[in-house]
Structure 1
Amino acid sequence: MRNEDDHQRFWEDRLAEDWTVSGVGYQALGRPFNAWMYRVRREVFLREVRSLSISDTSRILDVGSGTGFYVDCWREAGAGEVVGSDLTESAVGRLRGRFPDVTFVQVDITRAQDELPEASFDAASCMDVLFHITDDERYLAGLRNIARLVKPGGSFVLSENFLNRPRDRTAHQVSRTKEWIVSALEGAGFRVERRVPMLVLMNAQVDAPRVWRKVWGGALRAVTLTQPTGWLAGAALYQVDRQLVRRMSESPTTELMICRRTGS
């Protein structure tokens, strides 16, 4: 079986078993903690996309919709039409049931596909997806495909880890360097406009020194061993993180980036 088939099966199985914020988030920390974490994500996402020219005539593409979290955010931000997509059949089937008035398509954004017309979206989002594309060539192909779908002058909103240290690889995730990601975006036809922290303490500290990564990761797993303690830890850290993401210019974990599609 090819590696890309393994990758798709991994996500088919995971989302079929856990179609919640923990299934698409930091699963080891449990659902209550992830629910608080996603509250911070929502606040950051809405703050940033509301600064874009989004209106009831805007057409948005959400790549890797998962549970539909960011589909819901786009609609809250005032987008007129949102089209969702996902790699997995299990997610697309459930998304169509949850959002009967939204179009969802099953696509692998790293492959050439004709399901969506060129330059037909005013903005696109790809949240917590790109670092799960472990092959660099497929990553680059995914960015080129997204660029093909966004109108010139349109926006691209993504989340990534943007490491200042050498890349870090696990079986289903690769955290790449900030320089490599920016170069890949520019090569695909995007101009970076800004990058802001999306989380600070409520996620794996992938861009921190090794000792802190280990210590904080162990502390998070310890306080989330049960659902009640996970809820309490999430509630406490939510209040801290929602302040930190506004005050800090960089984060040791996931950040949100806004890009503009170049061209005429």
Structure 2
Amino acid sequence: MTDAALEPDVPLAHGDAPLREQDGPAAGGHPDLDRAGNELFYALRLGTLLAVIGDLHSPAAPLYVLDAGCGHGYFARALHRCGHRVDAIDAGEETIERARAADDGPRYARARLDEWRSPWPYDVVLCVDVLFHLRDDTEWAAALRNLASLVRLTGRLIVTDADTPVPRARDGRIRYRPAAGYRAVLEPLGLRHTEFRPYGFREVEAGFHVFTRIR
């Protein structure tokens, strides 16, 4: 099993991937894992996300979260259950309709990562296992800039990539980019790289890069 096999929770523009035809954690998960393995993989990532996001919310003042590339809505639903107000977007029509059908709290919309607009800024903008599938640098940077524009002051942008020193491709489907590449795009926009938390799951290299808006 290699992390090159990771399927995105949403493509930016290219519709529904084959794994999206499945339900639950198998959809958008790791195709080399069975359902039980994907349950573990999702639970581990959710735990890491909650450790990063923390519990800085209350019923009177919840965190506003955008799950950008939500797939069938696993992380959106989980974060909503934890008390956060969640918007969730996906480019796949079938995918977002399936997420909406659950009708369990998050507000879903069909949108590309580079086009979503919101009437309010978010405390957390989350993009799990999506950006490294955008092999075109112009497309990747456009998506990243738009996601950054949605983060409020002191808020966080959390994106998935490997902790690699140089850009590198995997199996023609994934393009890993170093933190320096993200910093080059995000620092002029007022976001600082504050940490990298690897998934720590088997041999998967990817993890969460966390950027905090400082101005």
SS at match of 1:27: coil
Of 85, 89, 99 in structure 1, the residue corresponding to residue 89 of structure 2 is 85
Shift of 1:157: 1.9
- Equivalents in 2 of 1:144, 1:166: separation in Å? 19
Greater RCO (Cα-Cα under 8 Å, separation 6 or more): 1
Residue 28 of structure 2 aligns with an amino acid whose one-letter code is: V
Unpaired runs of 5+ residues, structure 1, are 1-5, 204-252
Aligned to 2:148: 147
Of 105, 112, 119 in structure 2, the residue corresponding to residue 108 of structure 1 is 112
Aligned residues: 203
Change (3 A) 1:102 1:42: closer
Shift of 1:86: 0.7
Change (3 A) 1:258 1:78: farther
Identify the structure with the greater helix proportion. 1
CA contact (8 A) 2:135 2:173 kept: yes
- Equivalents in 2 of 1:178, 1:113: separation in Å? 24
Aligned to 2:212: 260
SS at match of 1:65: coil
Aligned to 2:128: 127
Q: TM-score, with normalisation over the residues of structure 2?
A: 0.82
CA contact (8 A) 2:167 2:178 kept: yes
Residue 163 of structure 1 aligns with an amino acid whose one-letter code is: T
1:49 maps to 2:1? no
Change (3 A) 1:102 1:199: same
1:1-264 paired onto structure 2 within 5 Å:
8-9=13-14, 11-50=15-54, 53-56=56-59, 57=61, 58-79=63-84, 81-110=85-114, 112-114=115-117, 116-117=118-119, 119-201=120-202, 203=204, 253-263=205-215
RMSD: 2.4
Q: TM-score, with normalisation over the residues of structure 1?
A: 0.68
CA contact (8 A) 2:161 2:206 kept: yes
SS at match of 1:192: strand
- Equivalents in 2 of 1:261, 1:76: separation in Å? 26
CA contact (8 A) 2:145 2:185 kept: no
Shift of 1:165: 4.8
Residue 82 of structure 1 aligns with an amino acid whose one-letter code is: V
Shift of 1:198: 1.7
- Equivalents in 2 of 1:71, 1:180: separation in Å? 27
Change (3 A) 1:261 1:67: same
